[in-house]
Amino acid sequence: MAEPKNDEFLDDLETAMAEEQEVETAEVSDEEAEIDALRAERDALKDKFMRALADAENVRKRGDKARRDAENYGGAKLARDMLPVYDNLKRAVEAATDEQKDVSKALIEGVELTMRELLSTFSKHGIILVSPQPGDKFDPQLHEAMFEAPVPDTKAGEIIQVSAEGFMLHDRILRPAQVGVSSNRG
């Protein structure tokens, strides 16, 4: 009768070992699942961090561009308002006859000096004079056609007259040069 007890004991031992192995397997599975969940969470957080870093860099770049634009183009309104001053000074110098230049030489020189100083100040602030000449090719980016006329010995699209000079602020047009353009077709 001792043998049946041994068989029962062995069966109980095998059952206990199987249960213990199931528990260990379950614990390993639980640990692996927890590790997998932690890895997934880490990857998600890493992705969010990288996106936040990229967003911060984009915001910095946009801020830098906005600052540069404000430095370069912030005075555009004032510059536009100053262009008629240049135009009037130029008209005053051009309107003076030789007789008036002889009589009021100092006055005319003062007006010319003021006009040169204004252009110098414009230049310091990135304002560039656009001064086309008759015979130059019309460029719609820099010029505004005020009229078209068929003029002998010219080609279509050539500037035939300059009504007003234009100005650029860095790479942007403040005021296009106002010109007359030839409409000849030959």
CATH number at residue 154: 2.30.22.10
Residues in the chain: 186
Beta strand 172-175 pairing with 143-149: unpaired
- Which domain range does residue 44 map to? 1-73
Return the residue matching tokens 């007259």. Answer: 161
From first to last of the 186 residues of the chain, give the pLDDT tens digit: 445 567 777 777 788 787 777 777 766 677 888 899 999 999 999 999 999 999 999 999 999 999 998 888 888 899 999 999 999 999 999 999 999 888 999 999 999 999 999 999 999 999 999 999 999 999 999 999 999 999 888 888 999 999 999 999 999 999 999 999 998 875
Residues 68 and 1 both lie in one domain = yes
Are both 5 and 62 inside the same structural domain? yes
Same domain for 121 and 105, yes or no, is yes
In Å, the largest CA–CA distance within the chain is: 149
In terms of domains, do 16 and 45 share one? yes
CA distance to 17, 29, 35, per residue, from 25 (Å):
12, 6, 15
* Whether residue 68 sits in one domain with residue 36: yes
